[in-house]
């Protein structure tokens, strides 16, 4: 697990966008396409604004969701609304290459199966994504894998539905697909995340984030979250 510390959230977003761009370019060069999954949040939106400015073969890039609230598509809490605006409406991604989770379906379990099948069709039977971009909650959750949720124990599916968390149930990628990705990009900002980030970097505790594979993982954090000097790194 490699740590890069940025001065602030904006710089962290810039570095994360550069990492995504490099990964996508390499994947297209090797496999003819790139399939990535992204999380929601204020700093990830900054990252995606910068990512959308990259000189990439966008027709060969597919962007999936790491997780989504199970609410109506028109609900302002849906992450896909921002993804659509940043990457498609204002950006270069072809509409068909944005892969929104069907989190407003009447049958959520069936919808999760369908999303899993779609990802497998793009990323191969084992659903090996080129990159998953992850956030980190102050409670140590990542994606919508939260403490004590039954979703933590799902190992036979790549997409599942959680119990209610805060304001809604969630559709989320599971550990097998998060840990099976070729690269993991953690984007962590803000002092509220400092304790959870320290645990993640040291590999201690039993928070959900600690169960994601550590190899081929880059953590980009701001100084508020990392509490270490800029340009520090950890193995």
Residue whose token pair is 């909650």: 137
DSSP state of 214: -
Where do the H-state alpha helices sit in the chain?
9-31, 42-51, 79-83, 108-123, 175-180, 194-202, 223-226
Residues 158 and 84: their CA atoms lie apart, in Å, by 23
In a domain, 97, yes or no: yes
In a domain, 34, yes or no: yes
**Model confidence band, residue 235 (pLDDT cutoffs 50, 70, 90):** very low
Residues 145 and 161: their CA atoms lie apart, in Å, by 10
Question: What pLDDT is attached to residue 96?
Answer: 98
In a domain, 70, yes or no: yes
3-state secondary structure of 212: coil
In a domain, 23, yes or no: yes
In a domain, 204, yes or no: yes
Residue whose token pair is 């102050």: 138
In a domain, 72, yes or no: yes
Residues 116 and 101: their CA atoms lie apart, in Å, by 10
* Dihedral angle computed from the Cα positions of residues 87, 68, 105 and 166, in that order, rounded to the nearest 10 degrees: -150
Residues 69 and 75: their CA atoms lie apart, in Å, by 9
pLDDT, tens digit, 9 for 90 and up, residues 39-67: 998 999 999 999 999 999 999 999 999 99
pLDDT, tens digit, 9 for 90 and up, residues 191-202: 999 999 999 999
The residue range of the domain holding 100 is 2-226
In a domain, 235, yes or no: no
pLDDT, tens digit, 9 for 90 and up, residues 157-189: 999 999 998 889 999 999 999 999 999 999 999
Going by C-alpha positions, the residue among 208, 185, 204, 78 that lies closest to residue 138 is 208
Residues 199 and 25: their CA atoms lie apart, in Å, by 32
pLDDT at 83 over 60: yes
- How far is CA 22 from each of CA 130, 151, 152, 227, rounded to the nearest angstrom? 11, 32, 31, 27
Going by C-alpha positions, the residue among 222, 219, 220 that lies closest to residue 190 is 222
Residues 26 and 21: their CA atoms lie apart, in Å, by 9
Q: How many domains does the chain have?
A: 1
Q: What is the value of pTM for the model shown? A: 0.94
Average the pLDDT over 86-107 and give the result: 97
Residues 20 and 93: their CA atoms lie apart, in Å, by 14
In a domain, 233, yes or no: no
> In CATH, what number is assigned to the domain containing residue 206?
3.40.50.1360
Average the pLDDT over 212-234 and give the result: 80
């Amino acid at each position: 697990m490699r740590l890069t510390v940025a001065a602030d959230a904006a710089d962290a977003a810039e570095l994360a966008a550069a990492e995504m761009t490099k990964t996508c370019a390499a994947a297209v060069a090797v496999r003819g396409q790139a399939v990535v999954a992204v999380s929601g949040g204020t700093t990830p939106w900054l990252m995606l604004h910068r990512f959308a400015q990259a000189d990439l073969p966008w027709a060969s890039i597919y962007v999936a969701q790491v997780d989504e609230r199970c609410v109506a598509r028109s609900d302002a809490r849906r992450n896909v609304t921002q993804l659509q605006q940043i990457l498609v409406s204002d950006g270069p991604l072809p509409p068909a290459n944005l892969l929104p989770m069907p989190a407003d379906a009447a049958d959520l379990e069936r919808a999760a199966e369908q999303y899993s099948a779609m990802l497998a069709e793009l990323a191969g039977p084992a659903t090996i994504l080129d990159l998953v971009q992850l956030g980190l909650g102050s409670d140590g959750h990542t994606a919508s894998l939260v403490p004590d949720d039954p979703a933590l124990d799902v190992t036979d599916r790549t997409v599942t539905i959680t119990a209610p968390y805060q304001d809604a149930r969630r559709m989320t990628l599971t550990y097998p697909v998060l840990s099976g990705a070729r690269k993991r990009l953690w984007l962590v900002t803000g002092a509220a995340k400092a304790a959870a980030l320290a645990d993640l970097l040291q590999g201690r505790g039993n928070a959900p984030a600690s169960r994601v594979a550590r190899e081929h993982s880059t953590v980009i954090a701001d100084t508020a979250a990392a509490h270490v000097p800029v340009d520090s790194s950890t193995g």
